[in-house]
A and B are shown apart, each in its own frame.
Chain A
Amino acid sequence: MGWIWDVLRAIVGTIIIFSAVAFIAVMFGVLLERKISAWMQSRLGPKHVGPQGLLQTVADTIKLLQKENIVPSRADRLIFASAVIVVPLAALLDYVVIPFGTTRSGPLIFRDLNIGVLYFAATSSLVVVGILMAGWGSNNKYALLGGMRSAAQMVTYEIPIGLALVTVALMAGSLSTVTIVNGQARLWYIVTQPVAFLIFLVAATAEVNRVPFDLVEAESELVAGYFSEYSGMRFALFQLGEYGEMFAMAAMAVTLFLGGWRGPVLPPVLWFVIKLYALIFVFMWVRWTYPRFRIDQMLNFSWKILIPVSVLNLVVTAFFAVVVHR
């Protein structure tokens, strides 16, 4: 009956991942967003709750928990409720293959799948189904339009992400994230694959619906897009999904391009956290700097610019990997 221990370990691991992501990523992520945006706009941001405003997100969560849960009267209750589960679940499942550091016996990773990078792309594509269900289940024209546009955007930008992932896997010779991090012992892949890094960052920004690609939740145009009708704890779960996905994309970029947990003096987990938050800072910096794309500009950008460039990058990398380094 050894499988009972496996199931228990999986359940405990899930609870740990959920708590870590919910409390570290989302809590600090939302707080960082507000503080960084404030500093870039020459103001101070939240500073009353806790020292330097550190407990602001706790206050926000308590506020959201005590709000009334409103379901629209003619909404499809089953689809409305199940969309709330699909989006955060798919975002949290991304963390299974990311190596956070090393322990004495091996890498600190939940499960070193030998299809690690493919698994990451697969769980990122599960979020789209949840968004379509959220848009449909709200029985609201703006939510439906926002949901369909968001789904179209996310499906379009999955292709450059996939091609950038395949390019790095080609350099490392394996789809496993641990092998990719070990392959960067001498030189980080950002030096040999700068184009793929840029494509991954741009496509990841579009995949998590952040500015400049946040047309689908533009507060001035579509109320709040596909989650207009969600209130209270459901809204908090959607935010958990969105910020969790952003942190997962940044963590994957650190693993693939910035050397994972590798670094000279400090412990590996600390290096990982430093690089992760550096990329999160870049994401937030871009948010408060650029205006928003229109939907046709956004789709043209992916199909006509990002995909040909990433395919060309893949072909050139394959040529060098096979012919030159033989």
Chain B
Amino acid sequence: MPGLTHYLVVSALLFALGIFAVVTRRNAVAILMGVELMLNAANINLVAFNKYVAPGAMQGQIFALIVITLAACEAAVGLALVLAAYRTLETVYLDEINVMKW
């Protein structure tokens, strides 16, 4: 029977994959995909704690719903920034965008 630690291990591994994407990828959209994986890992944590440690309250699931909503907002604004940057700077690779005035 999977217990609380099983879910925590899965979410820790997913979080580590997200950090790997954010730190080592060059493309801005790939970094945003890593951020989405990290947010998913945090959500799995929240819902697992809700079921196993505090089953009477609903706060874990409420928090997870709010995190999903805010992740959608942040993905929208982040990708709008990537598109606007691509229009002016002609590149999406973040290690080529290293001067303040283009």
Q: Do A and B touch each other in the complex, judged by CB within 8 A?
A: no
